Amino acid sequence: GTAYTYTVRARDAAGNLSANSASVTGTTQTTGGGGGGGNKLLGYFAEWGVYGRQYFVKNIETSGSAAKLTHINYAFGNVTNGQCAIGDAYADYDMAYTTANSVDGKADTWDAGVLRGSFGQLRKLKALHPNLKILWSFGGWTWSGGFAQAAANPTAFANSCYNLVEDPRWADVFDGIDIDWEYPNACGLSCDSSGAAAFKNLMQALRNRFGSNYLVTAAITADGTSGGKIDAADYGGASQYVDWYNVMTYDYFGAFAAQGPTAPHSPLTSYSGIPTPGFDSDTAIQKLKSKGVPASKLLLGIGFYGRGWTGVTQAAPGGTATAAAPGTYEAGIEDYKVLKNTCPATGTAGGTAYAKCGSNWWSYDTPATIGGKMTYSKNQGLGGSFFWELSGDTTNGELITAMKNGLG
């Protein structure tokens, strides 16, 4: 509620000063408005990346990304028998790292008490970056089916998660827990009918068990349609128990609809001809705000990969296709680090990029479109941004750098 008056004058390289400009007066708001968003920058580390992708915790450091990140989500722990469980014991804490692949250049030993695997490497990464926080994420697309049983006894589930995250072998590695339930009271790989209150009850139990000194977060749907997945669960009510939500504002469209229409999989805003109105980031963010979720508890999602089709004749979005475009690990999906060279972006729609190369059509975010999304995050007063996942970036962290520069 304070008035300020500003004048500007210019100075050239020789030190010459111009006259003062005309004055401009502005008054600050009495309550928080848009802008001034948070600078949380969170990246997912996929536990299976140490196999075919040969992406190790060391790569987070050598790419320069570790110094830019505020948080890492380790994905995924399993959810089974109503409990949190190890996802891949070998990758998590058993795999012995060589001198070449280790964060600190020291090979793992088989001595008693030595923490091997990615957990041991994350411990070494935290030693280099003491302010870096790491959360263990449970569920994901494949393992969300177990949440229905977990929701039947939230207290028992929360106890199991605490005991696993705080296992003495790696308790110092983790600063919190992330729940990736796809999707409460709705359908993902399987369908859940545990009711609209189940998610809130689960998050409340986790907060009660972990207490205020641990981070408790969740990755949530970005379906902004009326009666869609955001409406299926009490995300507003649950928000009091979480530090923030990772809003999965990607995978809206893709070659899971093999004949198209082609559409950017992570539109920031709606655009003329979008196949499903409400499938865009801004609509999801506004819907969550309208349900009482504070803007500061929302992180905007970025995909470090593209989704694509083949058999496409039309360069602009909305074309027909015949199948998923070939991908290195999975048809219809390719890392940014590959696409930037094999199919450079030629246009934008809804605030994200697309390209047609031969008969293949891809959409993905570039440093330029990420800049626009980070500006949106700040203008909306969001808590920051996150991405899936680290191995999709270039070896020098092009996309993370764009996120960091945009968030400030």
- What Å distances lie between residue 36 and 7, 30, 104, 346, 378, CA to CA? 23, 15, 37, 32, 6
Q: Angle, to 10 degrees, between the axis of helix 367-379 and the axis of helix 281-290?
A: 20
Is the separation of the CB atoms in 218 and 248 below 8 Å?
no
Can you give the length of the chain in residues? 408
Is the separation of the CB atoms in 308 and 265 below 8 Å?
no
Q: What is the dihedral of CA 221, 376, 177, 119, to 10 degrees?
A: 110
∠342-348-351 over CA atoms, to 5°? 120
Catalytic residue among 47, 61, 182, 334: 182
User: Which pairing describes strands 244-247 and 215-220: parallel, antiparallel, or unpaired?
Assistant: parallel
> Does the annotation count 182 as an active-site position?
yes
Is the separation of the CB atoms in 276 and 329 below 8 Å?
no
* Residues labelled as active-site residues: 182
